Structure 1
Amino acid sequence: MKQAEEQYQILYKLQPEPVTTPEIKGYDFNQGVDFDALLNSYANFGLQATQLNKAIEIINKMIHWRLGPNEENEDPNTRCTIFLGYTSNMVSSGNREIIRYLAQHKMIDAIVTTAGAIEEDLMKCISTFHKGDWQANDKEIRLKAICRIGNIYVPAANYGKLEDWLLPVFQEMYIEQKEKKFIWSPSSMIKRFGERINDERSIYYWCAKNDIPVYCPALTDGAIGDMMFHFNYKQDGLICDILRDVVALDKKAMYSKKSGLVILGGGVVKHHIMNANIWRNGADLAVFINTGIEYDGSDAGAKPSEGITWGKLRVDAEYVKVFSEATLVFPLVVAQTFAKHFQEAKRV
């Protein structure tokens, strides 16, 4: 009892200093529905809304430095290279159209993604995905030849259609390899896929058209790998050299005057981009959007600051992690950054 009284006296005598940080305050809908004002209010909203506002701020800085000489940036050698990384579920979802928009208008400089994100973009040009149900009876939909990605349904027939389209492309590539002694890499394969699909709905069509390299270090980890197996089972010898892309990506990071990272999800796409930035002693600006937690020691869940210890982020880097599933927030981020800059430039 005496100890509790002593602690109370200590607290009572404390002279609190005034808190000078902004007041937490939400949006007042009595002002009407103004989406710009709503998203700007996130700065002092608290919790993940404030993290989202920080992500918007950092990406706008990337865009500012990427645009080249301006009032604050007279030197074109300070141009920022923007690396975009995303997992396959982003292309399964409606974020595919958001990413396509960025590639279409040359708003990014390089992509790192997974095999699923390549094949599903191509499949969506050939066929369709559909809204499904998280609580689906998976045994029943298996019997209906439907594959499930969360609440997204993918008709299994899509994979047959992709194979029918892809095997002749592999044959064409195999002939070029034999006759021209050309060794393919994942990025050169993806560029050829984008050229051959010839569909403006495709992310990789626009990447091929706008010369945006797409790196996929695990290109064989999916249906594309299965189809490579099928092709090589009948006609052995098609080669895909991943080392060429490691060299290309690392050099792209190494020679960047400033480096900005936008990464949706984790795993190989996050690590591959960050690891490349070791060659320049870390990225300058970074935004991570995923739901991973740090307690299992995974790279996906790691706090961004952990990357500083590896030299993946600079000691003075600006970075933020938004704990969110990316379909919820990435369209909002693009609306307040890339799309806003593009629309403003059109009005000038």
Structure 2
Amino acid sequence: MQVTQFLKHHFRHFNAAALIDAAEGYKTHLANGNKMLVTLAGAMSTAEMGIILAEMIRQDKIHAISCTGANLEEDIFNLVAHDFYERIPHYRDLTAQDEEDLLNRHMNRVTDTCIPEMEAMRRLENTVLKFWEKADQEGKAYFPHEFFYQILLSGELEQYYQIDPKNSWMLEAAKKNLPIFVPGWEDSTLGNIYAGHVISGDIKNVHTMRTGIQYMMELADWYTQTAKEESTMGFFQIGGGIAGDFPICVVPMLHQDLQRTGVPLWGYFAQISDSTTSYGSYSGAVPNEKITWGKLGKDTPKYIIESDATIVAPLIFAIVLDM
């Protein structure tokens, strides 16, 4: 039995049914000639969601991505250092001493997975610094994802590949020059490393790296040019936080701050989240709350699956891919 057949036969109620509805809504949105932006929060790249995400990009099921700086870099960490990663299935039982032992071995833990500092972060730093310095010396400036595109397409990292490159979503995105928006990039390992190189003087101009407000300006232009009344943009949100909140705000900004007419609301919305609606939580906010902010309309198809994104997202993508 195919994955899609299995899901449609067994997933009939509650969050399972919401998963099916969201997937079918995704397919309908694309079938009507529309496009989709996907947002990545959490540690989805370290969870190796790149395996199916890369296929979604290859098959033109994703047309733009908004992600945290961590997801941007961690897909490449996994690409070049996968064999050095360690999985710790008993992570709930670790003592403080166990955690310190991991620190002393330069193994940075993300739930049940440890990222090796020397083979992943420092290996990539050695390469990326050359690209940062070159742009700095030439008086040029690029976005974080653009630097990665340059590095990946140059082939300089190929000698270090430790997974099948077709399973790297960043590599597939680079091949298609996929629009990527990375709010809060400075809150990432390489963001911290970049700041260190500016402080030490290796990078003379902090603005060699374009970030933040410039990303929003880029997003505003891209959305205005791409989303039309006859071809709207969908919004598929994995997790919450800045990766989702930043891009969805572009619509009210275009309407309210720039007074642009003819710009449609998001034409589809789905979110996978295990956050609860309490204490003003954005991540736990139900889709209807976004109507009050001018992000979604009352008739926008809306779905929320309250579950683990590492389980749910691949299943939804499998349905979209007709697997």
What TM-score comes out, normalization by structure 1 length?
Answer: 0.77
1:328 aligns with 2:311: yes
Deviations along 1:113-141, one digit per CA (max 9) or x if unpaired, are 01111211121222123322322332332
Among 254, 259, 263, the residue aligned to 2:237:
263
Within a 5 Å distance, the mapping from 1:244-263 to structure 2 comes to 244-255=214-225, 256-257=227-228, 258-263=232-237
Distance 1:298 1:311 in 2: 18
SS in 1 for 2:141: coil
Deviations along 1:172-214, one digit per CA (max 9) or x if unpaired, are 22233x2xxx332344334324324565343222222212111
Distance 1:185 1:159 in 2: 19
1:234 maps to: 201
Q: Is the 8 A contact 1:186 1:245 kept in 2?
A: no
Among 88, 99, 103, the residue aligned to 2:53:
99
Distance 2:20 2:311 in 1: 14
1:171 aligns with 2:133: yes
2:77 maps to: 123
Deviations along 1:123-170, one digit per CA (max 9) or x if unpaired, are 122212332232233233223321110111112222221212221121
Task: Flag the structure with more relative contact order, 1 or 2, with Cα contacts below 8 A and sequence separation at least 6.
Answer: 2
Among 251, 272, 297, the residue aligned to 1:314:
297
SS in 1 for 2:233: strand
Distance 1:34 1:212 in 2: 30
Provide structure 2 residue ranges, at least 5 long, that are not aligned to the other structure.
159-164, 255-262
Q: CA RMSD in A?
A: 2.1
Distance 2:278 2:42 in 1: 24
Among 188, 210, 219, the residue aligned to 2:185:
219
SS in 2 for 1:220: coil
Distance 1:185 1:35 in 2: 38
1:291 maps to: 274
Distance 1:312 1:205 in 2: 31
Q: Is the 8 A contact 1:113 1:216 kept in 2?
A: yes
1:237 maps to amino acid? N
1:110 aligns with 2:110: no
2:23 maps to: 56
SS in 1 for 2:270: strand
1:38 maps to: 6
CA pair 304-155 structure 1, distance change in 2 beyond 3 A: same
CA pair 196-120 structure 1, distance change in 2 beyond 3 A: farther
Provide structure 1 residue ranges, at least 5 long, that are not aligned to the other structure.
1-32, 67-79, 344-348
Question: Computing the radius of gyration over CA atoms, which structure comes out larger, 1 or 2?
Answer: 1
What TM-score comes out, normalization by structure 2 length?
Answer: 0.83
Distance 2:17 2:285 in 1: 20
Q: Is the 8 A contact 2:42 2:239 kept in 1?
A: no
SS in 2 for 1:183: coil
1:132 aligns with 2:88: yes
Identical residues among aligned pairs (%): 19
1:83 maps to: 37
